[in-house]
Structure 1
Amino acid sequence: MPAELTARGASVVGIEGSPRLLEHAAVRLAGRAELRQHDLEMPLAFAADASFDGAVMALVVHYVDARRQLLAELARVLRPGGWLVVSTMHPTADWNRFGGSYYAVEKVDRPVAQGRCHTHYWRMPLETFLAELLGAGFVLERLVEPRPAPELRQIDPEAHDKLHTAPCFLTVRLRRP
């Protein structure tokens, strides 16, 4: 995402908790963005109030335990009228994967890389996800359930059909009043 924003002329500050992923970002961005190693469980102390026009949290919010704190910090550092784009796992995808109650708010363990490692994240219903965002003072502008690009059919027909049948991701655009 930072590469797309810098290509459009934005001044970008990228935040990543993993030193290894930060190194990959530095190579990809080749100095076109300010990159910071930062744990999103901690306040954004490096950022002044109302100092950013927008923020993007791409597939990260569901990994954060201190989501309310993070959302309050984002509301603090965004200028009035600033925007926030958040993408996450679609609640029905998690429900289909893990079963149980759709309404469960719980930390789950998901094997990745053919089971060689695991990722832990929060699953929650849409109602909880939106309530946390709106509770931080944001106003919902748009909700999108992304569908796969048609080109994916040529690359991976099975993945295309799966993603076209059941939602896997959810994206929202919000505004700070």
Structure 2
Amino acid sequence: MPALPKSSAEVADGPVANDYDSFAEAYTAETDANLINGYYARPAILNLAGDVAGRRILDAGCGSGPLFAALRDRGAVVTGFDSSAKMVELARQRLGADAALSVADLGSPLPFPDGAFDDVVASLVLHYLEDWAAPLAELRRVLRPGGRLIMSVNHPIVYKLFYPQADYFATVRFAEEYTFDGQKAVLAYWHRPLHAMTDAFTAAGFRTAVISEPPPAPGAHERFPDELGDRHAFLSFLFFVLEAV
């Protein structure tokens, strides 16, 4: 589990934040089948996506490709991109040379035509960005009308739990230090309140269809009894299904 968040000033004196190229292999080894990612974040996205057979899906921020693989196994036609070249390299090793993968940044125009996809999945991506306006507009652009953006971000209440004296209603940067498969890394996030998220969705042309705080996947209690105890749900991420209008 992560340490308590550090301030941005502390992070500036340590490892470069969000440098996934430098810890991609360690991150993949740690998160492929752990509780937070393997038994919580990815299963929740897949449950929200439902039957994806034949659907054209963009995996935005695909990392090393575990969600891409799961969607493809369910019959979707998947395209993926990530800003980390090393993550895309690992994804290609996982998915095969013919997988539709590219290096691209959600903060810039995406290399896909208008209306190219039925769904976009963006699992644990947008909370790295201060400004959501342009990225959400791009995701809306590449979706067909009626398409879905299925996404997750850090639950906004978690920041308040870490910093009880902080202003929940402010948009503010914070960071956490992690150890992935024995390698230390820093991830820096932008906290924003829930209303700021939903306002951004509406401004970009989305309708909020689902807000979810799901339980962990079946089998999690048997595999992680010490971490979960008798809890049937916990605060970590917040999940959305948004419809392009």
Give your verdict on TM over 0.5. yes
Structure 2 unaligned spans of 5+: 1-66
Contact map agreement 1:148 1:163 (CA 8 A) in 2: no
Could you give the per-residue CA deviations for residues 100-126 of structure 1, whole angstroms, max 9, x where no partner exists?
A: 122221011111118932111111111
Contact map agreement 2:214 2:233 (CA 8 A) in 1: no
Contact map agreement 2:169 2:193 (CA 8 A) in 1: yes
Corresponding residue for 1:95? 160
2: CA distance, partners of 1:159 / 1:93: 17
Corresponding residue for 2:37? none
Q: Does 1:63 align with 2:131?
A: no
2: CA distance, partners of 1:160 / 1:150: 12
SS of the equivalent of 1:122 reads: strand
| Identity across matched positions, percent | 34
1: CA distance, partners of 2:76 / 2:222: 33
The change in CA–CA distance for 1:162 and 1:107 in structure 2 (over 3 A counts) is farther
Q: 1:155 aligns with which of 223, 227, 239?
A: 223
Q: Does 1:122 align with 2:190?
A: yes
Moved more, 26-35 or 157-166: 157-166
Contact map agreement 2:215 2:234 (CA 8 A) in 1: no
The change in CA–CA distance for 1:163 and 1:51 in structure 2 (over 3 A counts) is farther
Q: TM-score normalised to the size of structure 2?
A: 0.66
SS of the equivalent of 2:88 reads: helix
Could you give the per-residue CA deviations for residues 87-145 of structure 1, whole angstroms, max 9, x where no partner exists?
A: 01111122212331222210111111189321111111111111111211101111111
**Total equivalences in the alignment:** 176
Q: 1:5 aligns with which of 57, 65, 71?
A: 71
Q: TM-score normalised to the size of structure 1?
A: 0.90
Q: 2:87 aligns with which of 21, 24, 44?
A: 21
Corresponding residue for 1:80? 145
The change in CA–CA distance for 1:97 and 1:43 in structure 2 (over 3 A counts) is same
Corresponding residue for 1:171? 239
Moved more, 4-13 or 76-85: 4-13
Alignment RMSD (CA, Å)? 2.0
Quote how far apart the aligned CAs of 1:68 are.
0.8
**One-letter identity of the residue aligned with 1:146:** P
Contact map agreement 1:148 1:160 (CA 8 A) in 2: no
The change in CA–CA distance for 1:49 and 1:65 in structure 2 (over 3 A counts) is same
Quote how far apart the aligned CAs of 1:164 are.
4.1
**One-letter identity of the residue aligned with 2:210:** R
Structure 1 unaligned spans of 5+: none
The change in CA–CA distance for 1:53 and 1:170 in structure 2 (over 3 A counts) is same
2: CA distance, partners of 1:139 / 1:31: 36
Contact map agreement 1:41 1:65 (CA 8 A) in 2: no
2: CA distance, partners of 1:30 / 1:49: 27
